[in-house]
Amino acid sequence: MDNDVLRQAPLFSALDDEAASALRASMSTVKLRRGEVLFHEGDSGDKLYICVDGKVKLGRTSSDGRENLLAILGPGQMFGELSLFDPGPRSATVTAVTDTAFLSLSHDDLLRWLEGRPAVARGLLSQLAGRLRKANDVVADLVFSDVPGRVAKALLDLANRFGRTADDGVHVHHDLTQEELAQLVGASRETVNKALADFASRGWLRLEPRSVVIMDVERLSRRAR
C-alpha cells in the first residue's frame, strides 16, 4: 500500500510506518473527472480530503453568480479542514480541474487517530497558520497590486508548485483556462488575457493552451511586486 502518497502531504511527512498504515486504513479513495464537483459551498459535510493525483479548484460564488477561486491545489495538498474544526457548512465549492484522485477521512476518524499524537496536532496548527498567512497575503495583493501584477504572481506560484524546468524555460501545465485564471486573481477574463499577451510580447513567457512557459522568471517576479 502506498503510504508514500500520505508522506507527500507535508502534514504527515514525519509519520512512522505504523502510524501511516493506521491512518491509511481509515481513509477511502474518491475519483473525479475534469469539471466534476466534489462538494458545493453550503453543503454539510465533515470530511477532510487529500489530493493524491490531479488538481482541484476551491471556489466561491457571489449572490449574482460571479465566481472567485480561493486556491488551486495539487498532489499532497489537503482541503476541507475548515469544516473539521469550525463546524458549519462547506465554505467553498471544490471542482476537479483535471481528472483527480483523493483520499478522504472523516472528522471522527481523524480526531480518534489524533489522540495521543500531539505532534500531529501541532502540525495541523502550523498548517492552518500557514494558510492564514497566505490568505492575508492575498488580501494585501488585492489591495496593493494591479491586475498584471496579480497575474504575474499567480503564474509564479503555479510555477513553483507545478512547474518543470527545461532549457527553454519553466514549463507550467496549470490546466486552467484564462477564465479560471481570471477568477483566481479576481479580474475579468479579458484583462487577464491582455496582461498575458503583454508579458508574451515582452518575451517573458510563451502562451500555450492551459499552460505557459516562463522564459524570464526574474522580470516576471519584478513585475509581480
Binding mask 131-150 for DNA (x = CB under 7 A): ---------------xxx--
SS (H, E, C) 54-88: CCEEEEEECCCCCEEEEEEECCCCEECCHHHHCCC
Of 40-48, 113-121, 159-167, 174-182, the window that binds DNA (rule: CB under 7 A) is 174-182
CB within 8 Å of 155: residues ≥ 6 apart:
172, 174, 205, 212, 214, 220
42 or 203, CB closer to DNA?
A: 203
**Which of 218, 224, 207, 195 is CA-nearest to residue 137?**
224
Query: Residue 46 and residue 60: Cα distance in Å, rounded?
Result: 18
Please say which residue, 26 or 85, places its beta carbon nearer to its own copies. Answer: 85
- Using CB under 7 A as the binding rule, whether residue 177 contacts DNA is answered as yes
Residues of this chain that bind its own copies (CB under 8 A) = 60, 62-63, 66, 68, 70, 81-82, 84-86, 88, 91-92, 111, 115, 118, 121-122, 124-126, 128-133, 135-136, 138-140, 142-144, 186, 225
User: Given the C-alpha cell 483566481, which residue does it identify?
Assistant: 184
84 binds, among DNA, its own copies, none (CB under 5 to 8 A by kind): its own copies
Q: Does the footprint of DNA cover residue 186 (CB under 7 A)?
A: yes
Count residues near DNA (CB under 7 A): 19
Least distance CB 147 / DNA (angstroms): 4
- Measured at the CA of 84, the angle between CA 81 and CA 87, to 5 degrees, comes to 125
Nearer CB in complex with its own copies: 122/202: 122
Q: What is the dihedral of CA 51, 151, 42, 52, to 10 degrees?
A: 0
Tell me if 68 contacts DNA by CB under 7 A. Answer: no
The one among 60, 161, 173, 194 contacting DNA by CB under 7 A: 194
Output 123 or 148, the one with its CB closest to DNA. 148
H helix intervals, the chain: 3-8, 17-25, 82-85, 107-114, 118-144, 147-162, 178-185, 189-201, 217-224
Specify the DSSP class assigned to residue 16. Answer: -
Sheet holding 205-208, edge to edge: 163-166, 169-172, 211-214, 205-208
CB under 7 A: which stretch of 75-83, 103-111, 180-188, 216-224 binds DNA? 180-188
Q: Which residues bind DNA (CB under 7 A)?
A: 146-148, 177-179, 186-191, 193-194, 196-197, 207, 209-210
